Copies of this chain bind each other. A is one copy, B any other.
Amino acid sequence: MSLTPRDPDFAQRVRRSFAKQSAMQTFGVRLARVEPGAVDLALPFRADLTQQHGFLHAGVVSAVVDSACGYAALSLMDAGAAVLSVEFKVQLLAPAEGASFLATGRVLRAGRTLTVVTGEFRNDADVVVAVLNGTMMAVRDRPGLVD
């Protein structure tokens, strides 16, 4: 698989788009790594984002890995394309407990329209909390929809 970005401005493009994801700002997430086909996001534990047992909510975990994977996909898309999540599956392997977390997004296969992604969510003890496997889409024909 070619990890050569079609858009030389890919890193700035990911950073600009990420800055517009208000959900990520609300969750306290920051970009930790932007490379072609690989994006990492970091976040601290947040008591206001937990489920009933005090662990980070599985949906919040999903949101952060989904963003990491979406931006990993966007990093390989041609300029002008917007990225949308088609679908993803999340498997929860361990409770999301810890002081901080890292979500990784990786491209398995980059097609012209569809990108296959895989991601992980780890805590600060390097325990894999969740894995995500999904499909991202490059959208080119919707006015006003970019990155």
Q: In the complex, how many angstroms separate the beta carbon of A133 from the nearest chain B beta carbon? A: 5
Contact of A62 among B52, B66, B91 (CB under 8 A): B66
Query: Does A23 touch B at the CB level, under 8 Å?
Result: yes
A145 contacts B86, CB within 8 Å? no
Closest B residue to A17 by beta carbon equals B52
Interface residues on A, range: 35 or more
Query: Does A31 touch B at the CB level, under 8 Å?
Result: no
1/0 contact string of A48-63 vs chain B (CB within 8 Å): 1111110011111011
- Give the docked Cα–Cα distance between A49 and B116 (Å): 25
Query: Known contacts A21-B57, A86-B91, A133-B89; is A48 also within 8 Å of B62 by CB?
Result: no
Interface residue SS majority, chain A = mixed
Query: Does A2 touch B at the CB level, under 8 Å?
Result: no
Contact of A25 among B21, B48, B56, B59 (CB under 8 A): B48
Closest B residue to A93 by beta carbon equals B109
Give me the interface of A with B, judged by CB distance under 8 Å.
17-18, 20-26, 47-53, 56-60, 62-67, 82, 84-94, 108-109, 113-114, 116, 118, 128, 131, 133, 135, 137, 145, 147
Query: Could you write out 26 A-B pairs with CB less than 8 Å apart?
Result: A18-B52, A21-B57, A23-B57, A23-B59, A23-B60, A53-B145, A57-B63, A58-B63, A58-B66, A58-B85, A58-B88, A59-B60, A59-B65, A59-B67, A62-B66, A84-B92, A85-B92, A86-B135, A87-B87, A87-B135, A90-B90, A91-B116, A108-B128, A109-B128, A114-B137, A118-B131
